[in-house]
Chains A and B, each alone.
Chain A
Amino acid sequence: GAGVSQSPSNKVTEKGKDVELRCDPISGHTALYWYRQSLGQGLEFLIYFQGNSAPDKSGLPSDRFSAERTGGSVSTLTIQRTQQEDSAVYLCASSRGQRETQYFGPGTRLLVL
């Protein structure tokens, strides 16, 4: 079947604008993860969904970041009032469950000017 898909693949925005990033997990995968990869950094864990619930949102960098998941499938990561330091690659992964192998999407490359 299809893998994890993310859209858009690239996004250029102006400082202060809101952006919405989308993740379509593999069908049937109950767990979904968002990560951020900044230049020269490892993957920074942002948030995890089990079904539609996010048990811990403390990984989100600030209150400008929010995420939701609906129908146990698609997830959106929203960044409000973007700042230049938000520029990064945002990766989504899904798995059959907790501690199962994560399958990563291609990422969304965000550039905030």
Chain B
Amino acid sequence: AQTVTQSQPEMSVQEAETVTLSCTYDTSESDYYLFWYKQPPSRQMILVIRQEAYKQQNATENRFSVNFQKAAKSFSLKISDSQLGDAAMYFCGAGGTSYGKLTFGQGTILTVHP
């Protein structure tokens, strides 16, 4: 079984401040990868960041970074120096390499206030 849970339906942040989006997952696979995608109002799905589960080092991409806690099966996304363009729905996803299943969570709507 493979599940992804995002427990924050909505979050808000002031422009230039930092916000953290939470995600927990469960998988029976030993080799897996974790993803955060952004979906703006255009509905386009955009990859934000990717984490290999075998790597202890947390992935970073400019203002975006993750806090990957493998034992706790937690994969949170931190957005620093938030910008108006960061406002979107964010999806956390998990994919194992044995069976090919790629599962996503319920999504978190992020609002950025000027």
- Is chain B a partner of chain A in the same complex? no
Interface residues of chain A, those whose CB is within 8 Å of chain B, are: none
